Structure 1
Amino acid sequence: MLIENGGQTLRDFTEKNYKETVSEVTKGVWFVSGFGHSNAVFVEGAAGVILIDTLDTLERGQRLSEIIEKNTGKKVKTILYTHGHPDHRGGAGAFQESAEEIIAFEPVTAVLEKTELLQDIQNLRGKRQFGYSLTDEEAISQGIGPREGVVYGEHRAFVPPTRVCQQERIVREIDGVQVEMVRLPGEAEEQIMIWFPEKEVLCCGDNYFGCFPNLYAIRGGQYRNLATWIHSLDVLMSYPAEYLLPGHTALISGNEKIREVLGNFKNSIDYILTKTLEGMNAGKSPEELASEIRLPGEYANLPYLAEHYGCVEWTVREIYSAYLGWFDGNPTNLHPLAPKAHSEKMLDLIGGKTKTFEAAKKALKEKEYQWCLELCDLLLAAEPDSKVLQLKAAALEKTAEYETSANGRHYYMECAKELLRANGDIQG
């Protein structure tokens, strides 16, 4: 979301939420937050420790290991991965020698075949989304947590699971502790919840965290089925939990509060999905819907639904694509002109490149940054130009300060740096 002082709201959110915290939420259960991009939970068993997620790097996992031994005097014997994202399992190498069992679940829907052919572009877009080349001051945070350790030269140390489950639900006793694991697709297809009935503790992974979720990740990926995610939240609310421990952001205490927060989280997703589908059925385009649909105040004003990670606009476009595909219904767009031909014709119509460049400079001066970016793209589609690259980079940097989402902020700033490097190559 672009708002006045968007960058400052992200700074305020970061400073308030990401202090290093180790808390024993109930006897034998600890919640670790602020030590990595994600959280970790550990539960003391009879002979060892059950660890839910491992932080994002080996170095951070080693620090987590010290925290666990300090509080329990025991080693990690069992690791449960809530899902397969690297920020939740990158520290597993720190526990490799002691862990006897590592449990994960199989995805509900397999990754599209030949996805590996997209590795280069997804890595590039992932780097932009997470702001890997930015300084701490530029990046601020990653929205749902402190920056990943790889930014500081740390290393991922993923250890494959010893058991990959195909079941929907598993109930076990692990080292004297009753554990229930349930497959709940949401942000990830292999996402699970972990319920400790004797402790009244529910670990929900990334199906809930305290800001607006990545219902669509701008780095790219398969559709995250929002209807399924809504059902998963219903399942979470059906448990009599007194402590909800998410994979990112702060824990929630008290069953009434948990049900209230999860209910609002679920209803906000349902609202966006329903309004988008209704608008699509009325014949509106994805861009029309993205400009119109906003969370109503009853949800938008809740601190745990602030757009510091995902974004409503991006979600609307993704829903449209998932349900109706790329075509917006306008026959003009069935066979559009090639970008270069379109830009050349538009530039002629406007009055030439010089006039368009002056209009772009004026837009930057008058803080019409999006219009500046669109005019720059029109010019760059016709031919690369050093002055236009510099102008677009400036507009991207300015836009970043309006962006409340860490992902969006990083993407603007990373692309600005790339354009300045490209400009140096042209000049060189």
Structure 2
Amino acid sequence: MANTFVKSANTKVLKELDFSDRRDYEDSMRGFICSVDGGVIPSNKGGKSFDVHHSDFLLSTCPETVNPSLWRQSQLIRIDGLFELIPNKVYQFRGYDVANMSFIRGEKGWLIIDTLCCMESAAAGLKLLREKVANLPVTCVMLTHSHGDHIKGLDGVLEKDTKIVIPKDMFKMHFAEELLAGIAMGRRSFFQFGVTLEHNEKGCLGGGVGTYYSLGQITESYNFDPNNLYEIGEDQTLTIDGVEIDFMYTPNAEAPTEMMMYFPQLKAVCTAEEINRTLHNLYTLRGAVVRNGKDWSKYIDNLLDRYSENVECSFGSHTWPTWGNKNIVEYYEKQRDMYKFIHDQTLRQANLGTTINELPEKVKLPKTLTSEFYNREYYGTVSHNTRAQYQLYLGFYDGNPANLNPLTPVKLGEKYVEAIGGEDKCISMAKESYESGEYQWAITLLNNVVFKNPQNYEARKLLAEIYRQNGYMQESSIWRNCYLTAAYELEHPMQKQEKLQSALASTYLLMKLPFNYFFDLMAVSMEPIAVENVDAIFNIEFEGIKEFGSVILKNSVLNNRDQRDKHPTLSLKCKKADLVDLIVKKINREEFLKKEGVTLEGKNVEDLFTFVDAIKIATLDFNIIEP
């Protein structure tokens, strides 16, 4: 149950916003055609890819364990079905994934915008469209940006001769962002998206910009006929299947590469994920490259400058559409000004000497922006976005030498607890602070106890309770998920471990990586001490798939090139699957050498196996809230 402080904080929210305004509920249901039969999308491998009934609890009134503003948002993004946005022209499939899939009717078939998280959800959306609207071929798929929740269902809708339009270097950016730091991102995503939490009023409500992720088969290869692939690297106009489209290239805002679209014949805009009914992330808590709030705002302003007089329908990759020119222009303006305000005021404060962790107290959005539900902190927050802009320009260091070489969390915990007067004293002080509503100070005290002594179950229990109550107050879905996940992992370390182990990545991804990406991943997975005496050049060729190149191992650093070296110390030919199995320890050295097609030429065979033995593919089962 929520305590007195939580109840008071959540009640205060009811007075800050106009909850009697039902326009968003009306807009989110506008054009409704039908839902998926039974609300369940089956998985190709058995079980369910998505079940809308997991969030049926949102159909009731707001409980005391949820911020009322977040409850309202979660109800709206839960609304599911196929919707008609512009009669006979534009449709949208929403509520069966964290993202949306949109459809534009062309002269001969359907143009699809984004393909969700998995093939099953994407296929279900297309199937529903064909059953209820028109059974037409897929003439084009347009992928707005490089994040997985918009592209991994591609094979579920792709057909022969389907054109594919993407922003410049999209697949390269997708791999770069999710691959090299993918395990760390994946583990942190458990916190951001509440992966281990139950779906209920005391757990995960969704993702703020959409409901839960669908789980199913994903597109494993992005190799397409180059004649059917178009990259957008600048603003340009194309006509595809009779539909005129103005593409607006918007890199380094919500994603490393992204594009919005304007449809002149329809007076409609697809905003991709640049404009959403929430404050988005200038830094995402799962970890990613920081986004530039100034650039983001300028892309929105460019959209306004070009099309503000000729737009009547606006839809995006998340949340629900907006209709009417006046409504859309005001929406765009306030989204633009929100990101610009955060960017500008962060730098104003930085130039006044405000440091990174002081910013959240100094930068507050004006009421003209915060009074709009679409500018609330359902996903990003002003707190972590201001710190993101500081990091973008000034980095992690605040200029104070006291913070230049900080103690590790364990050493700090030991010294901190000793200085306070012991673990019991810290716990006693934390209880007093918690009871007086000083949650962050109580968290600081107990976090140091846990990092000094993770076996102190009294500290773990109290810290978990404080995290939980703190989570109940959050308007941001991802802050809520982070706090509640921390509470779960403190109280259920064994169950946490089981869930993490079950989520470990399989080897299929390694098989699909191109040569250079494959060895880039090996480079960040190699223990340097184990290879410090190796000086080698390997020419490697993967049989049957026409992949080859050279790998240079020297100074405990691995480099790769996409051509053979003239003077290798060793040449290896093998099936890629066999090398992958050797790397992930499915087979040993002797078994590898007996595999069909394995040939080695050169004197330094031991260097190859020293290198392979030094590779330790990371897994998701590392701790975050304890040592």
Q: Same fold (TM over 0.5)?
A: yes
How many Å separate the matches in 2 of 1:338 and 1:159? 41
Residue 99 of structure 1 and its aligned partner are, at CA, apart by 5.9
* Structure number, greater radius of gyration: 2
Match of 1:421 in 2: 492
Q: Does 1:187 align with 2:254?
A: yes
* Contact 1:208 1:262 (C-alpha < 8 Å) held by counterparts: yes
1:81 maps to which residue?
A: 143
The residue that corresponds to 1:160 in the other structure is 222
Q: Deviations over 1:95-152 (max 9, x none)?
A: 12356122211259968979844222111001211112222211112111111112xx
Q: How many positions carry a matched residue from both structures?
A: 421
Q: Percent identity?
A: 26
Q: Which residue of 2 aligns with 1:171?
A: 237
Matched, 1:102 2:164: yes
Counterpart-to-counterpart distance in 2, 1:321 and 1:112: 23
Residues 21-40 of structure 1 show CA distances to partners (whole Å, capped at 9, x for unaligned) of: 41242441223332322122
- Say if 2:282 and 2:389, in contact at 8 Å, map to a contact too: no
TM-superposed CA distance for 1:266, in Å, is 0.7
Supply the AA of the counterpart residue of 2:126. S
1:408 is matched with which residue?
A: 479
Kept in 1: contact 2:99–2:150 (CA 8 A)? yes
Aligned pairs for 1:226-375 within 5 A: 226-237=293-304, 238-239=306-307, 240-375=310-445
Structure 2 distance, partners of 1:167, 1:221, is 22
**Does 2:69 align with 1:9?**
yes
Query: Residues 155, 410 of structure 1: CA spacing in aligned structure 2 closer, same or farther, 3 A cutoff?
Result: farther
Aligned 8 A contact 1:389 1:423 in 2: no
Instruction: Say whether 1:118 aligns with 2:177.
Output: no
Describe the superposition over 1:34-91 as per-residue Cα deviations: whole angstroms up to 9, x where unpaired. 2322122211112111111122222211221122212122121210001121211232
SS state at 1:202 partner: strand
Structure 1 182/406 Cα, relative in aligned 2: closer, same or farther at 3 Å?
Answer: same
Tell me how far 1:273 sits from its aligned partner. Answer: 0.9
Q: 1:227-262 CA deviation, whole Å, 9 max, x = no partner?
A: 111111012212122111111112111222211111
Deviation of 1:405 after TM superposition, in Å, equals: 0.9
Q: Does 1:46 align with 2:116?
A: no
CA distance in 2, matches of 1:156, 1:104: 18
Determine which of 447, 451, 476 is the counterpart of 1:381.
451
Alpha-carbon separation, structure 1, partners of 2:380 and 2:409: 29
Q: What letter corresponds to residue 11 of structure 1 in structure 2? A: W
1:209 aligns with 2:276: yes
Which residue identity is paired with 2:133?
N
1:103–1:161 contact (8 Å) kept in structure 2: no
Q: 1:143 aligns with which of 203, 208, 216?
A: 208
Aligned to 1:71: 133
Any unmatched runs of 5+ in structure 1? none
Of stretches 2-11 and 199-208 in structure 1, the one that deviates more from structure 2 is 2-11
Give yes or no for contact 1:141–1:147 (8 Å, CA) kept in 2. Answer: yes
The 1:161–1:208 alpha-carbon spacing in structure 2 relative to 1, beyond 3 Å, is farther
Distance 2:407 2:136 in 1: 66
Task: Return the TM-score normalized by structure 2.
Answer: 0.63
Contact 2:293 2:342 (C-alpha < 8 Å) held by counterparts: no
Cα distance change of structure 1 residues 380 and 87 upon mapping to structure 2, 3 Å threshold: same
Change (3 A) 1:242 1:91: same
Q: Secondary structure at the match of 1:72?
A: coil
Q: Give the 4+ runs in structure 1 shifted more than 4 A.
A: 107-115
- Aligned-partner residue type, residue 371 of structure 1: W
Spell out, residue by residue over 1:167-206, the C-alpha distance to the aligned partner (whole angstroms, 9 max, x if none).
3033222112212222112201211011211111110100
Report the CA distance between 1:338 and its aligned residue. Answer: 4.2
SS in 1 for 2:67: helix
Quote the residue 2:193 is aligned against.
Answer: 130
TM-score by length of 1: 0.91
Could you tell me which residue of structure 1 aligns to residue 469 of structure 2?
398
Deviation of the 1:166 alpha carbon: 5.1
Q: Which runs of 5+ in 2 are unaligned?
A: 1-5, 11-65, 498-627
Structure 1 match to 2:79: 19
Match of 1:91 in 2: 153
Q: Do 1:55 and 1:88's aligned partners in 2 also have CA atoms closer than 8 Å? A: yes
* Structure 2 counterpart SS, 1:104: strand
Does structure 2 retain, via aligned residues, the 8 Å contact 1:286–1:320?
Answer: yes
Which amino acid counterpart does residue 231 of structure 2 have in structure 1? C
Q: Over residues 394-419 of structure 1, what are the superposed CA-to-partner deviations in whole Å (9 max), with x where a residue is unaligned? A: 21111110111111111111222222
- Counterpart code for 1:15: Q
Q: Is contact 1:92-1:158 (8 Å) kept? A: no
Answer 1 or 2: higher relative contact order, Cα 8 Å, separation at least 6: 1
Cα separation, 2, equivalents of 1:39 and 1:183: 20
User: In structure 2, what residue type is equivalent to 1:393?
Assistant: A
3-state SS, counterpart of residue 103 of structure 1: strand
Aligned to 2:51: none
Shift of 1:267: 0.7
Aligned amino acid, residue 120 of structure 1? I
For 1:24 and 1:113, the matched residues in 2 are separated by 35
Q: What SS does structure 1 have at the residue aligned with 2:374?
A: helix
Contact 1:51–1:80 at 8 Å: present in 2 too? yes
In angstroms, what is the RMSD of aligned CA positions? 2.4
Bigger mean CA offset, 209-218 vs 87-96:
87-96
Shift of the 76–113 alpha-carbon distance from structure 1 to 2, 3 Å rule, reads closer
Equivalent residue number for residue 119 of structure 2? 58
Residue 324 to residue 120, structure 1, CA distance change in 2 (3 Å)? same
- Cα distance change of structure 1 residues 35 and 337 upon mapping to structure 2, 3 Å threshold: closer
Deviates more, 1:69-78 or 1:166-175: 166-175
- Mapped partners of 2:100, 2:281: distance in 1: 17
Q: How many Å apart are 1:292 and its aligned residue?
A: 2.1
| Contact 1:7 1:400 (8 Å CA) reproduced | no
Find the aligned partners of 1:113 and 1:246 in 2 and give their Cα distance. Answer: 24
Stretch of structure 1 that moved more, 89-98 or 294-303:
89-98
Letter in 2 for 1:121: A
On the 8 A contact 1:56/1:156 being kept in 2, the answer is yes
